[in-house]
Amino acid sequence: MDGTQILTLGLEAPWILKDQHLDTSVSPHRLDLYVEAERGSLYPCPECGKACPAHDFADKTWRHLNFFQHHCYLHARVPRTKCPEHGVKRIEVPWARPGSDFTLLFEQAAMSLVKEMPVLAVSRQLEISDKRLWRIMHHYVGRMLGELDLSNVATAGVDETASRRGHGVPRYAAQAGAGDLRRTRPRQGRHRGL
């Protein structure tokens, strides 16, 4: 296995790693990976999945997991497809969710750390702002809450002993039979991760 294979990121056709550049003149050092699609490639329409030609391209950048101590950024020219049925639509890249400035692997690592550490400590470790980390968390927690099925909840319980001991634990209650989750009081103080 050579260095190029290590950096391929598990890319599949039509995407290939075209170039990489390590900048040691900045601190922290920065590794930039440039991904391109093979010339003349067809891309799936985001609506119907039909293979369509590219209409135009936009340069996008995502923060990836650090490569050793170097910050790593992934750059790509992301096409909009020209579908005869749905018109011009931006495609989704396989390494990042739509609208995110981070790769899926970076977000996965961030969410794993947040389960074990306070948000501020994780943001310092990943060297991103806590606001950006909260946005990642809100996306995934919101998605999971949206998929939460409480239709079979008959009763709910709240742990009041923790609040008597001075713990700032956010408490939730499920309304019997309604199938929704409700906060019983607003959060107070500094918040820890999930």
Pairing of strands 172-174, 181-183: antiparallel
91 plus 108 within the same structural domain: no
Count CA within 13 A, CB hemisphere, residue 86.
16
Q: Which residues, 6+ apart, have CB-to-CB distance to 37 below 8 Å?
A: 14, 15, 16, 43, 54, 77, 79
| Same domain membership, residue 115 and residue 70 | no
Does residue 162 fall inside a structural domain?
A: no
85 shares its domain with 112: no
Domain range for 31: 1-95
C-alpha 113/C-alpha 107 separation (Å) is: 10
Domains in the chain, number: 2
The reply to whether 52 falls in a domain is yes
In angstroms, the Cα distances linking 187 to 26, 109, 111, 134, 194 are 40, 26, 21, 15, 13
Q: Both 86 and 113 in a single domain?
A: no
Asked if 85 and 14 sit in the same domain, the reply is: yes
**Same domain, residue pair 54 and 24:** yes
Judgement on whether residues 41 and 109 belong to the same structural domain of the protein:
no
Q: Tokens representing 115?
A: 């389960």
One pLDDT digit (tens) per residue for the chain, 194 residues: 445 455 557 788 888 899 999 999 999 999 999 999 888 899 999 999 899 999 999 999 999 999 988 999 999 999 999 999 999 999 999 999 999 999 999 999 999 999 999 999 999 999 999 999 999 999 999 999 889 887 887 776 665 555 555 555 545 554 544 555 555 444 445 554 44
On whether both 11 and 84 belong to a single domain, the answer is yes
- Do the beta carbons of residue 119 and residue 130 sit within 8 Å? yes
Same domain, 36 and 115: no
